[in-house]
Structure 1
């Protein structure tokens, strides 16, 4: 028993100290439990197969897809209209929306759903995401108190009541308690989040320093870029790019060919971008991106029966004249030592060697966009190049000639596959439906696994590696390694000793003192073991304690449910707390500063409110 307590206390000290990574601390604690044979290897490793941990991994993937498809940005921009420019309204909006969803969806699922949306909201409103993410996690737990299915401890106390022969609780028996929780949360969190979560942690600026759309505007690409669509009766059908000889005949350059799949199902549509290779054979529906003057583009389109698309209408989404999916753009600065100096762009062989196009040259304050093939390269020139993201990244290896500004593969990861947003939305709604409706015989963890797989299989990620990169393994390992600690505390009798001695010792002081003891014992234990395990452990004790003093067990069992669910002072007490930890860049001490005062305030209020709602 004492060894288990010692390991737990040492872990807590290291967590608070923050100098050692939290996942490493958790693994060391797990190893210590194994070394002292407190847990068997099977028990120690059970956390890694726990459904909560598997759900976390799946939810990271689902959240990443919501980001990658631009769905988060779309939803957040609509929510932002309600908040306007007021940070207080935005804070309230996040709390209220999250609480409402959390009443019907698991708190883990709620956070996974809202996290990418809230990050987009914060960025759009020019607020540090850390100001909103911890309140988001806490709001999901508070919302879970509104319904019977909102959080597992609610189901635990209902089962305890029914097993003891009492009448069960209705679906909305918890609603008044949940409303009080949300009200207390708003009052306490608003000042605390401003005081302790306003560090303004900034992301490192990339070497590029310019977004893709900023580059498009700077070089004026949209001004001389035109899109022509190959029709069913076009004279280009079956022809290759080299056969057209478009540069000589019309003074135009074909930059790329945008090709959608030929399926009639727009919902599942996929867009493929490819550079205009000389042997690219054109097909109906292809969209050619060409540069040159408008008159020549119009003449080319007229002679070959092509549709000239309006520059303000995108072929698939919301309409920038130049979208980026598989193909991107970047700037490279020519070195003074480069052997390409004084050679023309054509002689430099960018297309032949690296399969990239040169779209423009920035020379001091001038921008050169026409007749680039015959333009000589000067030392210090900045070339705007276009190609697949991998080919642009390859340019970084030629350091003797140029320096690539920014990190192309990082930029590619930021590009949203916005034509997949409807797919991501449908999968997300399917996941929520499977979690909410009982007539769908699918466990929550299964619904998350299905949703994560569908996100990958339907192309909401660029590739499988992109999906893996969305998983924060530190949080996953932290939770998986700490879950067996609850087994160790139960196995060695620590949990039973603490809970029973506190609850029974306070019974002689009356129902309020007993309720306070049960509530804060539950709250304390939940900081170290899962809230469900704590509820299972303390619900029978609360029931027995109430019967011993002749009081109704309902308020005491509610004290267990609220105490187990309203645990905010630790990042690993509930999955939502752990989920927001990496995104908000929080440390253990941040949870102490913000979560502990809220947890104490919630306890004090509940001790007085619960007997009013459910009399002794």
Structure 2
């Protein structure tokens, strides 16, 4: 017992210092428990097979797809409209919406769904994401107190009451308590988040501001100004012909940037966009969308000659075919050659859209332009081909990271499909008549997001997973096994509850809440509720008071644990995204946890009298 507590104390010190990565500290604590024989290898590794950990992995993938498809941006836009640019209104709206979702969906699922929306929201509103992400995690836990199914500890105390022969709680018996929690949370978090959570993202934002965005590249090379978009009609003279046969560049002086084909299903939910890099062999069919660069009057004349119709959108949205800048060094084979003779398309399967030479941007008559050392070329091609240039081409330097740029591209045509998958996942988690476990529902949703193309690739899905948070939770979960196995948690719980029970019902209530709250910092909230429920019920009966307020103190203490990143999965989920350290949870979560307890000690007897 003493060894377990010592290992836990040392780990807590390192967590608080923040000098060592939290996942590494957790793994060291786990190994120490193994070496001392407190845990068997099976017990130590049980956290990595825990359904909560597997669910977190799946939810990261689902959240990544919500971002990749632009669904997060659309949802955040709606919230921004409702907030009307007011930061206070935005904060209140976020807390309330998250809490309402958390009343019916697991708090882990709620955070995973809302986190990409909040990050997008922060970018739109010019607010640091760290200011909103921790309140988001806390609000999901508070929302769990609104209904019977909101959080597992609620079901634990329901079972304890039923087994003891007391009247079971109804679905909305928790509602008054939950509302009180949300009010306290908003009042406390509003000043604390502004005071302590407004740092930590400056370096990242500075880095982003220096990175050339795709829209900035298009603006510099005036692609948007010189862009014309047409659709090949059924009676068009271009239908059934290749670009070589049409000879558009030589006849009109225009450059075909891309040919795009949109496929829709009967339901209109399934939609796919097939992009083709313009080449001599590209065959045009009715319904194809042609993107042209050059004089707009000439483009209009071409459209008249070939019976093309103006497309509904005149913007060049980037999906699988991207753009990037490359710089020619003195050793580049392309130097001294014209673009048409350089073989750049044949070797790398990319097109040259423009050349920056000195302060000038050249976008017309590119075929005969001779390339020089120091020229910056704007190239267009599939992201993987652009990345191949970076790895294989001698004397050509690709500016930026193409594959990272590809990860930022929004597949907005997949947004309805991603929304449908997300709603399916929520339905499977909420409705009991669907015989699917929550972890299974999340795994199904994650797989569907990858299979249907809501994420660009399997590799992109893996990159959405925050492995530091996963390892942190998986390594800390066996700590609860060690505390229970050595009897440390049971001893602390009984010692505090028994001693305080002799004083007064309020003292016992405070003892139950804060004991549960402290234990939940190191043991899962469900395990703590299972441990503390019989102790709280027995203590209440022993001093002749109603067990209801005592058991509510158990579920509150287990669910309202905010002072540690690994006390609940939502806290861990937002840790990396918000750039938080262990001490940030102490600064914001601990005062909230204490104030919540003090308020609830007074409120619970009013709702459920002794």
* TM-score scaled by length of structure 2: 0.96
Partner Cα separation in structure 1 for residue 285 and residue 540 of structure 2: 78
Moved more, 250-259 or 69-78: 250-259
Report the CA distance shift for 1:341/1:153 in structure 2 as closer, same or farther (over 3 A). Answer: same
What do residues 502-535 of structure 1 show as CA deviations (whole Å, max 9, x unaligned)? 1011111010111111111000000000000000
Q: Is the 8 A contact 1:531 1:573 kept in 2?
A: yes
Please give the residue correspondences for 1:195-234 in structure 2 after superposition, counting only pairs within 5 Å: 195-202=195-202, 203=204, 205=207, 209-234=211-236
Please give the residue correspondences for 1:524-543 in structure 2 after superposition, counting only pairs within 5 Å: 524-543=518-537
Partner of 1:480: 474
Partner Cα separation in structure 1 for residue 69 and residue 584 of structure 2: 31
TM-superposed deviation, 1:228: 2.3
TM-superposed deviation, 1:397: 4.0
DSSP-derived class of the 1:284 partner: coil
- Mark the runs of 5 or more structure 1 residues left unpaired by the alignment: 315-319
Partner of 1:99: 99
Partner Cα separation in structure 2 for residue 471 and residue 232 of structure 1: 46
Partner Cα separation in structure 2 for residue 274 and residue 90 of structure 1: 42
DSSP-derived class of the 2:207 partner: coil
Partner Cα separation in structure 2 for residue 550 and residue 377 of structure 1: 91
Please give the residue correspondences for 1:110-189 in structure 2 after superposition, counting only pairs within 5 Å: 110-189=110-189
Q: Is the 8 A contact 2:200 2:579 kept in 1?
A: no
TM-superposed deviation, 1:379: 3.9
Moved more, 421-430 or 247-256: 247-256
Partner of 1:549: 543
Partner of 1:90: 90
Partner Cα separation in structure 1 for residue 66 and residue 124 of structure 2: 16
Partner Cα separation in structure 2 for residue 515 and residue 266 of structure 1: 56
Please give the residue correspondences for 1:213-612 in structure 2 after superposition, counting only pairs within 5 Å: 213-261=215-263, 263-309=265-311, 313-314=312-313, 321-335=315-329, 338=332, 340-397=334-391, 401-612=395-606
TM-superposed deviation, 1:289: 1.4
Partner Cα separation in structure 2 for residue 51 and residue 394 of structure 1: 39
Partner of 2:79: 79
DSSP-derived class of the 1:111 partner: helix
Report the CA distance shift for 1:445/1:372 in structure 2 as closer, same or farther (over 3 A). Answer: same
Partner Cα separation in structure 2 for residue 361 and residue 35 of structure 1: 63
DSSP-derived class of the 2:410 partner: coil
Q: Is the 8 A contact 2:319 2:410 kept in 1?
A: yes
Provide the aligned C-alpha RMSD in A.
Answer: 1.7
What do residues 59-94 of structure 1 show as CA deviations (whole Å, max 9, x unaligned)? 000000000000000110110012223222221111
DSSP-derived class of the 1:266 partner: coil
DSSP-derived class of the 2:269 partner: helix
Moved more, 181-190 or 15-24: 15-24
Q: Is the 8 A contact 1:207 1:405 kept in 2?
A: no
Q: Is the 8 A contact 1:207 1:406 kept in 2?
A: no
Report the CA distance shift for 1:147/1:207 in structure 2 as closer, same or farther (over 3 A). Answer: closer
TM-superposed deviation, 1:339: 5.3
* TM-score scaled by length of structure 1: 0.95
What do residues 393-438 of structure 1 show as CA deviations (whole Å, max 9, x unaligned)? 2332467534322211111110010000000111111111222222
Moved more, 359-368 or 106-115: 359-368
Partner of 1:317: none
TM-superposed deviation, 1:391: 1.7
Partner Cα separation in structure 2 for residue 376 and residue 208 of structure 1: 30
Partner of 2:36: 36
Moved more, 388-397 or 595-604: 388-397
DSSP-derived class of the 1:223 partner: coil
Partner Cα separation in structure 2 for residue 421 and residue 141 of structure 1: 28
Partner Cα separation in structure 1 for residue 107 and residue 522 of structure 2: 19
Partner Cα separation in structure 2 for residue 87 and residue 459 of structure 1: 35
Q: Is the 8 A contact 1:208 1:407 kept in 2?
A: no
Report the CA distance shift for 1:208/1:597 in structure 2 as closer, same or farther (over 3 A). Answer: closer
Partner Cα separation in structure 1 for residue 575 and residue 148 of structure 2: 27
- Mark the runs of 5 or more structure 2 residues left unpaired by the alignment: none
